């Protein structure tokens, strides 16, 4: 099988779809890996690393796509990359089609593409093993990002997350006690902040309370969200509804009641965002002010931790890549329920129920 590893083209995206170790294993199995020049630079992998592993270096994204039966990416293709897709290919990436432009889905169907969406790959127990790796990183990044945005020279309120003796710590509200939320709680508590963790699932709150006895846990409904938002120095949106656009749980009028120069980190922005005033930003221009509140809404937060994020991602995706390379996409999907749940489109057909409903609408 020909496997393409193109350079990522989303702004400030430094991850790469496959490490040299993965290329070496695939090459040893008789597969041909076409790696676009510079694809691994952000993760610390040179073209020479890939060449030594048996990869063939190609010098354009169009060639990396054009030769491949299987394309292994990180972020969903840009508009230019969609034009490089070849009919019948399999493309693995974080597609996030529920919040993407309709052009993405239309192209996949027209070109009979099998799209494996990493965020949809789901185990029998409901766990999302690939998404979990990036959620862990994004959650742990959030405390450092918030700490910087609270500084006066960054437009913030001039608050130290952990406070000092005689001065209380920052009040941090986290909406969602899943992977992002619990990893964020861990990071904020580690810096000494006062943490409020909200979720609709009482079982998750019980687990969170046992894991983080210092945190205050609350049921997430409109009254409580408004109550905690009013005093929050930092509000973290960590809502995830698999296979759907994130629900808006913080409306504009609630944002307007927050303290001036407070900080919102909407980590659900890759699924559309859970704060009504949120809109996607980039690492180059990560923030804006709405309702006198600083908003940070970067969809690819782990993208600037190219080395760590690439290794974490490959730990989870490698078995899926290997299975598709060994059996071909259709047989691999039939063999693995884990993989099958991650398929958004299969040879031109929508297989994700939610996407099918939206397409019909």
Catalytic residues: 96, 270
Query: What DSSP state is assigned to residue 200?
Result: S
From 234, 231, 256, select the one nearest 148 (Cα to Cα).
234
Q: First-to-last CA distance in the chain?
A: 37
Taking a C-beta distance cutoff of 8 angstroms, is the pair 187, 140 a contact? Answer: yes
- Report CA 49 to chain centroid distance, whole Å: 27
Secondary element (H or E) of residue 266: strand 263-266
Give the integer Cα–Cα distance in Å for 100 and 149: 28
Q: Of the candidates 300, 304, 275, 334, which has an alpha carbon nearest to the alpha carbon of residue 96?
A: 300
Tell me how far apart the alpha carbons of residues 298 and 274 are, in angstroms, rounded to a whole number: 13
Q: Is 191 helix (H, G, I), strand (E, B) or coil?
A: coil
User: How far is residue 263's CA from residue 31's CA, in Å, rounded to a whole number?
Assistant: 48
């Amino acid at each position: 099988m020909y496997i393409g590893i193109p350079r990522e083209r989303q702004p400030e995206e430094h991850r790469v779809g496959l490490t040299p170790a993965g290329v070496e294993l695939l090459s040893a199995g008789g597969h041909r890996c076409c790696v676009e020049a510079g694809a691994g630079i952000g993760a610390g992998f040179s073209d020479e690393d890939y060449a030594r592993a048996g990869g063939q270096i190609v010098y354009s994204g169009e060639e990396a796509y054009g030769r491949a039966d299987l394309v292994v990416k990180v972020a969903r293709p840009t508009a230019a990359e969609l034009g490089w897709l070849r009919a019948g290919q399999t493309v693995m990436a974080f597609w996030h089609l529920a919040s993407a432009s309709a052009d993405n889905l239309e192209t996949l169907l027209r070109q009979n593409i099998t799209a494996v969406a990493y965020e949809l790959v789901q185990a029998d127990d409901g766990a999302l093993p690939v998404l979990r790796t990036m959620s862990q990183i994004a959650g742990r990044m959030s405390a450092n990002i918030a700490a910087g945005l609270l500084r006066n020279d960054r437009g913030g309120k001039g608050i130290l997350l952990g406070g000092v003796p005689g001065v209380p710590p920052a009040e941090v509200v986290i909406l969602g006690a899943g992977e992002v939320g619990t990893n964020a709680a861990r990071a904020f508590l580690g810096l000494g902040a006062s943490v409020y963790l909200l979720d609709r699932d009482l079982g998750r709150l019980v687990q969170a309370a046992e894991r983080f006895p210092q945190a205050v846990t609350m049921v997430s409904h409109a009254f409580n969200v408004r109550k905690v938002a009013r005093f929050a120095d930092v509000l973290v949106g960590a809502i995830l509804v698999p296979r759907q656009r994130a629900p808006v749980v913080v409306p504009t009028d609630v944002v307007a009641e927050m303290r001036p120069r407070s900080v919102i980190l909407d980590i659900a922005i890759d699924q559309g965002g859970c704060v009504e005033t949120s809109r996607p930003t980039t690492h180059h221009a990560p923030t804006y002010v709405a309702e006198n509140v600083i908003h940070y809404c970067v969809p690819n937060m782990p993208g600037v931790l190219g080395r760590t994020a690439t290794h974490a991602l490959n730990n989870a995706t490698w078995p899926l890549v290997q299975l598709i390379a060994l059996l071909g996409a259709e047989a691999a999907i039939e063999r693995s329920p884990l993989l099958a749940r991650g398929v958004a489109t299969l040879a031109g057909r929508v297989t994700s129920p939610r996407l099918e409903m939206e397409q019909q609408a």
